[in-house]
Amino acid sequence: MRPFSYLEPRALGDAVAMLAEAPSRTRLLAGGTDLLLQLERGPFDRVVNLKRIAGLRAIAEEPDETVIGPLATLTDLLRSEAIARRHPVLREAALLMASPQVRNLATIGGNLCNASPAADLAPPLLCLDARLSVVGPHGQREIPIAEFFAGPGRTALSPDEILVAIRVPAVATRAAFLKFSPRRAMDLAIVSVACAATNGRTRVALGAVAEVPLLVPPSPDEAASMARPIDDLRASAEYRRAMVRVLVRRALEAVARRTT
């Protein structure tokens, strides 16, 4: 592994200042399950660990929204009574991710900020219309999740900004998440689909079939035509597109059957 400086701020303001000193040479560390691979090849030599900052791991129930700290791990999502009651689709997605050991480390913020087209928490959060609070040297702003992903490994975050909260509206929603991958565990999706019905409006989002997770119309044929899959080792583009059609149909049926 290449040498790097390691910084461990105890307050958010200190983390912002440390990042602002050299944004292009610095990476933020959450669980490290994606970052560890980047340390081998990345063009950076400073790591700022966010884990010692109090409050960034909390899951808070506000009247109108659930505020999830970016450092909440996948295990935290699985254990949270608030998530199970208000947003069970996030639980469904977290259960299909990685292994118990990885889930104890991997965070929701890392999953979003790593910006893999196959990030499993992205489609459900797109369907739930989440908003992301970010902080930088110039203050705080909110980004609708639909505007967050810019390409593989790229987001709407400026290099000097930190994701500090994922805000999920607390409205009655029926939702489902389906993940299709060659193995039942420890594998990235070939195609993933989330679907959520809220106040008579149905949203569908796709993972792993475009350069970013994608919101699409709630129609299997339209979803398949909007997907932009690639051929790779895991599956052909043609197969992925066919599976989008199948999974969107199944997700819409699953949501129609659900009462909560």
- Enumerate binding residues for ligand FAD (CB under 6 A): 27-35, 50, 70, 97-98, 102, 105-107, 109-111, 113-114, 119-120, 157, 162-163, 186, 188
We find the least distance from the C-beta atom of residue 219 to ligand FAD, in angstroms, to be: 25
Closest CA to 108 of 153, 156, 75: 75
Instruction: Give the residue with the Cβ less far from ligand FAD, 29 or 254.
Output: 29
Structure tokens belonging to residue 204:
């569908």
219 CB-near residues (< 8 Å, 6+ apart)? 248
Instruction: Give the residue with the Cβ less far from ligand FAD, 124 or 220.
Output: 124
Distance, CA of 254 to CA of 176 (rounded, Å): 7
Residue with smallest beta-carbon separation from ligand FAD:
110
CB atoms within 10 A of CB 186: 10
Instruction: Give the residue with the Cβ less far from ligand FAD, 30 or 197.
Output: 30
209 CB-near residues (< 8 Å, 6+ apart)? 117, 191, 227, 228, 229, 240, 241, 244
We find the least distance from the C-beta atom of residue 194 to ligand FAD, in angstroms, to be: 12
Instruction: Give the residue with the Cβ less far from ligand FAD, 3 or 200.
Output: 3
We find the least distance from the C-beta atom of residue 165 to ligand FAD, in angstroms, to be: 9
